[in-house]
A and B are shown apart, each in its own frame.
Chain A
Amino acid sequence: MDDYTIGVLSNIGVVSFVALSAYLLLLTGEISFGQQAFFAIGAYAAGIATALWGWPLAPALAWGAVSAGCAAVLVGLPTLRLHGLYFAIATLAFAEMVRILFELFRYQVEIDGEPVGPDGTEGFRNIRYIFDHNIDAVQFLLLIYALLAAALLGFVLLERSRTGVAFRMIGEDETLAGLQGISVARHKVLAAGIAGALAGVGGGLYAHLTTYVEPRIFDVMLGVHSLAYGLIGGLGTAFGPLLGVLIDIGLLESIRVLAGYRMIIFGGIVALLLIVRPRGLLDERTVHGIGDLWRRTRPRRRQPGPGP
């Protein structure tokens, strides 16, 4: 596999985390334009851990996830009462505040006589962990996808679990869910925390993949994109957002010829797609349909019937 393909695949893997993050919140019925904030927090936290504090990669990534998750819970609490558009804009405001705070954030430590660390708008350079430890591109790619697979497994288990059902019920009708005895507030905060942590993992991976992050990257565009991936790929399954990322980055990035017109084409396709499939390609109906088809094509066991 050539470097370019590895790069694109790594990118797809990393962005998938933010897409899944936005998707999880969509399940509970909330639109978030702000998951990029947790992506950023995860990136900076993990990067600081390895580059400034000398931590190994695994705990650094965990630290990134935990920081992002906690931040998400902290934001989730004052916004609990908000719904729909109000919640969405609150997340946008929060994410922009985080981005600007990173523009003002300077934390540098001298390592080998050189200052290393986040330097405001200049960004955070030299997150060189994978180079210093001779991890090559393919190995890191495998790490990204291993973590992504774990996340997907988590989603599959979640969809079958009571918590997952509770999330979807809250997404359908919050009042009704509450009347059924589901603690809506607790579940929403839980969802926010998990979603934040997910984005945080992606951020940590991103920081080490590119070795350099700057606040400019974590803007509204990234946030709305993350949301869009779920809508395009489909809201019926966690594979939906991944499909969305694949379509955007994978398909269109690799058609270099169209690169200059990428958004014009992509934008038009998305708009047309959403007219016929307002919940994405792999929407709930399609996923159920596939499930039914699968069940029907399984060989039937012979049933002992009543007497002749």
Chain B
Amino acid sequence: MVDLVQNTIDGLMIGSSYGLLALGFTLIFGVMRRLNLSYGPSVMIGGYLGTVVYLQFGAGPLVVAAAVVVGAAVAGIYVERLCFAPMKAGAAIASMVSSFAIWMQLEQAAILVLPRHTYPFPPLATGAPLELGPFSIRIDHLVMLCSALGLAAAVQLVLYRTRFGLALRAIIGNPVAAHLVGIDVGAAMPLAFAGASAVGGVAGFLVLAVDQQVTPMFGMWVTLKGLIAMMIGGLGSVPGAVLGGLLLGVIEAQSQWYFGPQIRDLVAYFVLFAVLAIRPRGLVGGTFDASMPQKA
């Protein structure tokens, strides 16, 4: 019983970052209606910039976080300009494959610049874990949870209380109508992309700081976690992304504890497959129908 609760606590903590990753993913998909396979790699580029700043200048966590966010945002804009902006409407598959090609490009570029298998990252917080009865909560986990929830709330605020947020939701709701009410959709896209990548950057920083290392596999990891959490919660749904992330975190924590890391991943994918087969809209139910433009 104790294990179950402890795992749930740990799962919710890490799940909060999954939620942020899913959030960035879902915002991009909502605005673009296309899957960005370079999302994870953009966050990884941010991570690598962060480790460079850490190693070269011995910077503290806040500066490193800023570097990660900037790196992710810049990489995001690069991807948007190359893979999404120039594509005509309906070239969704082409955009996706293009973003995959750039994924490979970013990954190899990162490895060329920083060829080692792993690079250090500053810790998020130091100190003994909090003991609450039989349960222990790591301080860095707590910081991660609070930061993630804080950022999710900030995103929610931007979306629902700012003019830019209104524009984004309009584009997500109906892109043609967004044009018709005078929203400059062409200018909003790269901004949304950069913003979503930045959100991913924060999530990436939190995970890397808890892990205290960054590896070249990080890009793929972010993409997969973000994707799974997003789909479980529901494509295009902001609360869905957060919920999906939290749920994924808990499922993984429990599976890993009782069955080990391979079963953990197996269960995660199985849950994803089951959600898609039974209720593709996801748990919270997104705003999208099940189709994505097929024609290139």
CB of A294 to closest CB in B, whole Å: 24
A93 to B273, CA, bound (A): 6
Q: Mark each residue of chain A from 196 to 238: 1 if its CB lies under 8 Å from any CB of chain B, else 0.
A: 0000000000000000000000001000100110011001000
Residues of B within 8 A of A92 (CB): 227
**How many residues on the A side are at the interface (Cβ–Cβ under 8 A)?**
48
The answer, yes or no, to whether B137 is at the interface (CB within 8 Å) is no
B294–A93 contact, CB under 8 A? no
B35–A85 contact, CB under 8 A? yes
A227 to B103, CA, bound (A): 14
The answer, yes or no, to whether B224 is at the interface (CB within 8 Å) is yes
B98–A270 contact, CB under 8 A? yes
B88–A278 contact, CB under 8 A? yes
Residue of B with least CB distance to A75: B273
The answer, yes or no, to whether B102 is at the interface (CB within 8 Å) is yes
**Do most interface residues of chain A lie in helix, strand or loop, or is the interface mixed?**
helix
**Do most interface residues of chain B lie in helix, strand or loop, or is the interface mixed?**
helix
CB-contact partner of B101 in A81, A93, A171, A267, under 8 A? A267
Residues of B within 8 A of A171 (CB): 294
Residues of B within 8 A of A96 (CB): 224, 265, 269
Residues of A within 8 A of B109 (CB): 264
Q: Mark each residue of chain A from 263 to 281: 1 if its CB lies under 8 Å from any CB of chain B, else 0.
A: 1101110111011001100
A82 to B224, CA, bound (A): 19
A162 to B209, CA, bound (A): 58
Q: Identify the stretch in B8-16, B69-77, B89-97 within 8 Å (CB) of chain A at 4 or more residues.
A: B89-97
CB-contact partner of B269 in A84, A85, A100, under 8 A? A100
B104–A267 contact, CB under 8 A? yes
Residues of B within 8 A of A267 (CB): 101-106, 108
The answer, yes or no, to whether A286 is at the interface (CB within 8 Å) is no
User: In which size bucket is the chain B interface?
Assistant: 35 or more
Residues of A within 8 A of B273 (CB): 90, 93-94, 97
Number of residue pairs across A and B with beta carbons under 8 Å?
139
CB of B249 to closest CB in A, whole Å: 18
Given A96-B265, A260-B112, A263-B108, CB of A84 within 8 Å of CB of B276: no
CB of B4 to closest CB in A, whole Å: 24
Given A89-B276, A97-B273, A263-B105, CB of A231 within 8 Å of CB of B94: yes
Q: Identify the stretch in B57-65, B79-87, B121-129, B168-176 within 8 Å (CB) of chain A at 4 or more residues.
A: B79-87
| Residues 244-296 of B contacting A (Cβ, < 8 Å) | 262, 265-266, 269-270, 272-273, 276-277, 280, 290-296
The answer, yes or no, to whether B151 is at the interface (CB within 8 Å) is no
Given A171-B294, A264-B108, A274-B98, CB of A103 within 8 Å of CB of B262: yes
B272–A89 contact, CB under 8 A? yes
Residues of B within 8 A of A81 (CB): 280, 290
The answer, yes or no, to whether A31 is at the interface (CB within 8 Å) is yes
A264 to B41, CA, bound (A): 13
Residues of B within 8 A of A90 (CB): 272-273, 276-277
A84–B292 contact, CB under 8 A? yes
- Residue picked from B94, B101, B102, most chain A C-beta under 10 Å: B101
Q: Mark each residue of chain B from 163 to 184: 1 if its CB lies under 8 Å from any CB of chain A, else 0.
A: 0000000000000000000000
Cβ contacts A to B, 20 pairs, < 8 Å? A78-B277, A79-B276, A81-B290, A82-B277, A83-B292, A86-B280, A89-B272, A93-B272, A104-B262, A220-B220, A224-B97, A227-B100, A235-B296, A266-B105, A267-B102, A267-B106, A268-B105, A271-B102, A272-B82, A283-B296
Other contacts beyond A267-B103, A275-B98, A279-B94: 18, CB < 8 A: A26-B93, A84-B290, A85-B292, A88-B292, A89-B276, A93-B269, A104-B262, A171-B294, A227-B97, A231-B296, A261-B108, A261-B112, A263-B107, A267-B108, A271-B102, A274-B95, A278-B91, A278-B296
Task: Report, nearest first, the 9 A-B pairs whose CB atoms are least far apart.
Answer: A267-B105, A84-B292, A278-B94, A270-B101, A263-B108, A278-B91, A267-B101, A263-B104, A93-B273
> Which B residues are closer than 8 A to A by beta carbons?
29, 35, 37, 82-83, 86-88, 91, 93-98, 100-109, 112, 220, 224, 227-228, 231, 235, 262, 265-266, 269-270, 272-273, 276-277, 280, 290-296
